Chain A
Amino acid sequence: MRKISNPPTNSPVVSLKDVHKSFDKLKVLDGVDFEVDRGEVLAIIGRSGSGKSTALRCIDRFETIDSGEIVVCGHRVNDPKLNLRALRQDVGIVFQSYNLFPHLTIEENIILAPCSVKRVGKAQAKEQAQQVLAQVGLEDKLHQYPEQLSGGQQQRAAIARSLAMQPKVMLFDEVTSALDPELTGEVLKVIEALAANGMTMVMVTHEMGFARGIADRVVFMHRGRVHEIGSAAILTSPATPELAQFVGTGL
């Protein structure tokens, strides 16, 4: 399905090494390490304020880090000479609040970046828009405006917009937190299909059942550190009291 471009040996797609980050005096990340391999789905869970969203945003350089190293698809993210736009062509990000562009139709939202960043022809971009919209089950919404769609549909359209750039890794930042259970289900189904197609994904999520279902590995963050990491099995048999307490209240 997806074309996998320039695989540089077997190095991980995303790697964080001893990442530290503070907002003023508040330490948000206190030595975070983890890696994501090609085709892997990594779920990051943890309490509010545990640093999970910040860690995710650092991967796409929406936050700069104080120390440590982040490498994403061969880009050294903390390098001051980083080619930011090259990094963001390789990384797709989907936000909690969808952030579709309200003045553009769904189709225009999707073809904007391919046309202006990758210089894809309009006809080809439109064809591709149809394809990614079919992937998220919204092929009939091409010419509607975001406000005419439900929250779940908007989030799926936002996923399609990211997919149109053919990223090598997708980041999901609590993408279902603003949705009711029914709409959450339709978004999760789309993400599941992406996982089945072999997309590399990092997702911050509150959906424990979902994390257990599709994540190859789960990272539990606590006080700015990776407190526990392992297969989805750690959710059912946690090794630390903190995770036990978290899933005990979370499930």
Chain B
Amino acid sequence: MGGSLNINHLMFLGQGALWTIGLSLIGLIGGGIAGFIIALCRISPSRVVRLLSAGYVQLIQGTPLLVIMFLTYFGLPTLGLTVSPLTAAGASLTIYVAAYLGEIWRGCIQSVPRPQWEAAEGLALSRVQRMTKVILPQAVRIATPPTVGFMVQIIKNTSLASVVGFVELARSGQIINNSLFEPFLIYAIIAVIYFALCYPVSRISRRLEARDGPVRPIIETA
């Protein structure tokens, strides 16, 4: 078959890794913006808005990301809407991340102690002022460690984009393996690169938790 692993193969893997990072950022930014809106909707004074956003979260959390990818890439064209692999992967990831970050952030906002809301209300601040000036600044501190931790999930989940033909790290490994047929070597390299991407992020998350969170034992899993 196609010879042995050379620098060109590694360059190709590197390019795939860059797309993995790119797709992760798309998921984080898109999902972050949508997730923030979801979090606010989940605690809205309007019952309808609360129910709709809760329904969205339940629906997405109960659907595998793989299926969401299939739906956007293969399903939308049957409705007359053709999307590129990048668009399909980016949109799916955004939809998926929004549900999880929305729920994480809702919890963080609600974990700001109730008396803080009351004190802000007692000072005649409007709902928007209470949110932006009193609650959110405190919620951000609480939210940082779990959010950074969830980024690890995003990075790993981008590998599913390979099923819609998007050439990120996992897909580029498959392509190289198809010509070299050295699965153990190549997938080991892929695993190491994923680990190299995820490990620093999870270290940061743990550091943040140790700094801001309540005192609790740190369970080393890495």
Instruction: Please list the residues of chain A having a beta carbon within 8 angstroms of any beta carbon in chain B.
Output: 60, 62, 85-86, 88-89, 91-93, 95, 97, 99-103, 112-113, 116-117, 158, 161-162, 165
Contacts and interface: CB of A to CB of B under 8 A. Distances in A.
Contacts of B123: 88, 112-113, 117, 161-162, 165
Contact of A97 (B115, B121, B125, B141): B115
Interface secondary structure of A, over-half rule: mixed
A159 B116 CA distance: 15
Contacts, number: 55
A88 B115 contact: no
Interface in B113-144: 115-116, 118-126, 129, 133-134, 137-138, 141
Interface secondary structure of B, over-half rule: helix
Question: Which residue of B119, B121, B133, B141 has the most chain A CB atoms within 10 A of its CB atom?
Answer: B119
Nearest to A113: B123
A112 B129 CA distance: 10
A126 B125 CA distance: 18
Interface of B: 115-116, 118-126, 129, 133-134, 137-138, 141
The 3 closest A-B pairs by CB, nearest first: A99-B119, A113-B123, A88-B124
B115 A102 contact: no
Nearest to A103: B137
A222 B124 CA distance: 31
A102 B212 CA distance: 13
17 contacts: A60-B122, A62-B118, A85-B124, A88-B121, A91-B122, A95-B115, A95-B122, A99-B116, A99-B119, A100-B119, A101-B116, A112-B123, A112-B133, A113-B123, A116-B125, A117-B123, A165-B123
